[in-house]
A and B are shown apart, each in its own frame.
Chain A
Amino acid sequence: EAQVTQNPRYLITVTGKKLTVTCSQNMNHEYMSWYRQDPGLGLRQIYYSMNVEVTDKGDVPEGYKVSRKEKRNFPLILESPSPNQTSLYFCASSFSWTSGETQYFGPGTRLLVL
């Protein structure tokens, strides 16, 4: 089944404790990205990747890192999480980046930083 998977689905952590949220897709997609969803703000892009070893900042990259060493994986790293990073995170992918391309979203990771 074609899908985007994220792990973990739920995570409670404490301020400053490094964490990684994994994202994997099995559709051989070149483009991948991370969004966070907050009440009243909709979804905002954190980082994106056009292909292996090609990443760039989105609208809200502060406090996050990413890497793209393999085509299928695009982990999101919070090196020193803070409470303002409490949010619902979505990974998305598509075959390439063109204007009309459909994005496929993962199920989401709900993060609480205490």
Chain B
Amino acid sequence: GNSVTQMEGPVTLSEEAFLTINCTYTATGYPSLFWYVQYPGEGLQLLLKATKADDKGSNKGFEATYRKETTSFHLEKGSVQVSDSAVYFCALSDSSGGSNYKLTFGKGTLLTVNP
């Protein structure tokens, strides 16, 4: 079955530091890959996505590249802000035969950015 493994937190950084959150996946078909973000007390919202190999998703200064050869989709940001403090989830969806119609999530990584 499908699975997502992401770097477990918590991760604590100072403002303007570089961020990497690692994510690797296992999938039987040709998945699409997502990063969702959950701010305190809120639901999940899409941060970025990539639907095929070598695609780069980007949004709000975050980016991630779909690497089929390493089955990875690492999230990066060059300079984090206090407002980036949240829980980040890597996820995949795979609508090729036999899969449940769902997102498969990693366990989430709590990021705290200090001023």
Interface residues on A, range: 20 to 34
* Complex partner residue of A40 from B32, B100, B107, CB under 8 angstroms: B107
Question: Contact at B103–A99, with CB atoms within 8 Å?
Answer: no
Is B77 at the interface (CB under 8 A from chain A)?
no
- Smallest distance from the beta carbon of A57 to chain B beta carbons, Å? 9
The answer to whether B43 touches A97 (Cβ under 8 A) is: no
Point out the residues of chain A lying under 8 angstroms from B43, CB to CB: 4, 90, 105-108
Most buried by A among B42, B49, B103: B103
Cβ contact of B44, chosen from A41, A59, A90, A99, cutoff 8 A: A90
Which DSSP category, helix, strand, loop or mixed, fits chain B's interface?
A: loop
Q: In the complex, A92→B108 CA distance in Å?
A: 18
What separation, in Å, do the CA atoms of A99 and B96 have in the docked complex?
A: 8
| Interchain nearest-CB distance for B25 vs A (Å) | 13
Binding site for B on A (CB under 8 A): 4, 31, 33, 40-45, 48, 50, 56, 58-59, 90, 92, 97-103, 105-108
